[in-house]
Amino acid sequence: MIATINGKISEKIGDLVVVEAGGVGYGLNVTSEDFGASNLDSQAKFYIYDHIRENSHDLFGFVKLETKNLFEQLLSVNGVGPKMALSILNVGNAKDVRGAIATGNTALISKANGVGKRLAERVVVDLKDKVGMVASDLSGTDILTSSNYLISDEATQALISLGYSQNDAVSALKDIDESLSVEQRIKLALKGNKR
């Protein structure tokens, strides 16, 4: 089993990052975040998930161990294979994905390629208690902002259904009085953000 690969990034081919180590070039499937951060000719260490099947041998590389651990948790969900787990990790950074699972935000998870609503719900049900996030962990994610607007807030959800991104919906509502009705908050948010 390969646990880590430490070497020079020699190429980026399609979605793969090629790491030269000991005279061998290892093609690693990586998250879009790690792909963007991988600079040619720089030294890098990747934590490896080795996926061997009858007709293929794929290596999945992660710069952070916590991302690899989340990837392996995603694989424990029935119906989620390595490519789909990587796709789920591509909807945000690992902290955002963990936050989405912890708060039951299936909308974010179902943005992943090939992941429908039902599978997103299964991911949440299976992993909600396993991702290990508490409210203090959520404060740095897009799921919870400094104004404590959870994505599950009714007004926020309404704006998202109107085409706002999560961040835009939260931003539009952050200065509006929480004691107002949901309808009034939505109207004021729409008035302040002519789209």
pLDDT of residue 157: 73
Same domain, 74 and 58: no
What residue spans of 57-131 are helical by DSSP H?
Answer: 65-75, 82-89, 94-103, 106-109, 117-127
Q: At CA 24, angle to CA 20 and CA 25, rounded to 5?
A: 50
Measured distance CA(114)–CA(4) in Å, rounded: 28
Are 104 and 160 found together in one domain? Answer: no
Q: Same structural domain for residues 52 and 76?
A: no
The 3-state DSSP class for residue 9 equals strand
- State whether 116 and 93 are in the same domain: yes
* Predicted pLDDT at 186: 84
The pTM of this model reads 0.67
- At 26-84, the pLDDT tens digits run 999 999 889 988 999 999 999 999 998 888 899 999 999 999 999 999 999 999 999 99
Decide if 31 is inside a domain.
yes
CATH number for the domain spanning 137: value is 1.10.150.20
147-174 pLDDT per residue, tens = 344 444 677 777 777 777 767 777 788 7
Q: Under 8 Å CB-to-CB from 23, ≥6 apart: which residues?
A: none
